[in-house]
Amino acid sequence: MRVLLDVHPKVRCGPETRILPRILHLSTQIVGKPEMLRLADAGITRDTIDAAFLQFIRAIIFRSGTPAERYCVKDPFLDTVMNFLFEIFPNSKFILMIRDGRAVAHSIVR
């Protein structure tokens, strides 16, 4: 699917970053957990954390290839952090691709 989207002159998907799922998994360990209380004691708010993740994600996406009008990220396992992505990218569009489970299993094993 990424290849099909990359053909469009206004869209750039590029290869899987492999780092975004890891970084976003970290967000689930910080946001909404007891860790937030410790961070609040240090003066770090949820808004600060959201802004930091937003800037990091943007840097990875924008700097990983040529500029484009629209950007696409096709990393596996981002579905587990969709609520967080909706919060920090409120104007974004998300497409959920449904694939044959056998193809998914084969892709993961590779």
Catalytic residue among 16, 35, 69, 87: 16
35 included as an active-site residue: no
Assess contact for 35 and 29: CB atoms under 8 A. Answer: yes
Burial of 37 (0-12, 13-18, 19+ CB in 10 A): exposed
The CB density around residue 82, as the number of other CB atoms within 10 Å, is 12
Q: How far apart are CA 11 and CA 2, in angstroms?
A: 10
Residue (of 17, 35, 34) closest to 73 by Cα position: 17
Assess contact for 56 and 88: CB atoms under 8 A. Answer: no
> Residues with catalytic annotation?
16
